[in-house]
Amino acid sequence: MNISRSLVLLCAAAGSLISQPVSSYNYTVKGEEKTLDITNVHYELAASFVLRTVTTSKEIIGDIGIAATTTVDAWKLGVDLKESPLYSVRVEGTDSHTVEQELFVISRGLEEVKWWSIYRIATGAHLFDTYVPLVELSIGRENVAIRYAGLEVPEDDNKDARLKDSHVVAVLSYASEANVIREALITCDDPKQAALLRSFADEARSLVQSAQGLRLTFSQEFPAPPAPVSITIPIAHDDLDLAHAQLPPRVHITAWKR
C-alpha cells in the first residue's frame, strides 16, 4: 500500500521567481516499512548575498538516523537567480542557518553524534568543524569584533593520521569571519584518559566564553559521576594564549595546523 501527500511551496528571492526546486513531503508505506521523504527549500538574504538552502532527507520510521543532504547556493544580491550561483556547497546534513551575516552553519549529525560544519558566506569556504555548538565571542572594547570557536573531536575514521594518535583528545579552533586564526591540539599523557575524554558515548563536552577567555569542560555521562575536567585558554592580541592556558595534570595544548 502506498500513501503519498505533497506540499508545494512557492519560493521567491530578490525579485526572481524560481519554479525549481520546490519543497515537498512524501510519506510511503510498503508492508511494515514506513518511509518519510522531505525536501525543504529556503531563501535568505545575508549581507549582500541571496542564499538558497535545499535540504532533502529520507527517514525510515523506527530506524536510528536518517539520510540527508543539504545544498547551499549563493548569488550576489541583484543577480538573476537563473544564473549559475557564485558557489555551491553540498554536504550530508539536515539544515543550514546563518550567523551574524558572516557564516552559515550546516548540521552534520545524521545519527547519534551531533556536529556542525562552519562556512564563510562571502566565499563558501569551509572554516572548521565543531562537535559542540558554535561559540560567538566579542573581543575588543573600542572596536568590538566577533570571533568564533569550536571543538573538533576526532572520530576513529578521521582522514588525518595525526589525529589517530592515542594521546589526542580534540582540536580547538578560533576564527574570524575571514579565516581560522588559530588551531590548538589537546592531548593527554594517559591514553586511557584521552580515550575517555574523546568518547562520544561516555563523555559530554561544553565550550563557553568566560571572563578568562574560553573554558572547555569535559563531564562523564550518567550513570557515572560527572568528574568534570576543565581547561581555560586566555585570549590575547586576538589569538589563543596557549602559553598561559590552565590545564589539569597530564593534559597539554599546543599550536597545530592542518
**What's the pLDDT tens digit per position in 74-90?**
999 999 999 999 999 99
Q: What average pLDDT score do residues 224-228 get? A: 93
- Taking the C-alpha atoms of residue 62 and residue 125, their distance in angstroms, rounded to an integer, is 36
Pairing type for strands 49-60 and 67-76 reads antiparallel
The pLDDT of residue 243? 97
Among the listed residues 113, 127, 135, the one whose alpha carbon sits nearest the alpha carbon of residue 215: 135
pLDDT tens digits, one per residue of 156-201 = 888 899 999 999 999 999 999 999 999 999 999 999 999 999 999 9
Give the per-residue pLDDT at 139. 85
Exposure string over 164-188, b if 16+ CB within 10 A, otherwise e: eeebbbbbbbbbbbeebbbbbbbbb
CA distance 2 to 30: 6
Note the maximum CA span of the chain: 66
Using CA atoms, how far apart are residues 41 and 245, in angstroms rounded to an integer? 44
Chain-centroid distance of CA 213 in Å reads: 21
pTM of the model: 0.88
**Cα(35)–Cα(8) distance, rounded to whole angstroms?**
19
pLDDT digits (tens, 9 = 90+) for 12-29: 333 444 446 889 999 999
> What pLDDT is attached to residue 212?
87
Separation of alpha carbons 169 and 186, rounded Å: 5
Give every strand in the sheet of 95-99, ordered side by side. 95-99, 103-107, 116-120, 126-130
pLDDT band at 9 (very low <50, low <70, confident <90, very high): very low
Q: For residue 126, which phi and psi values (nearest 5 degrees)?
A: -80, 130
Q: Which three cell numbers stand for residue 86?
A: 557564485
Q: Is 211 buried (19+), middle (13-18) or exposed (0-12) by CB count in 10 A?
A: exposed
Nearest Cα neighbor of 164 from 131, 132, 198, 135 is: 198
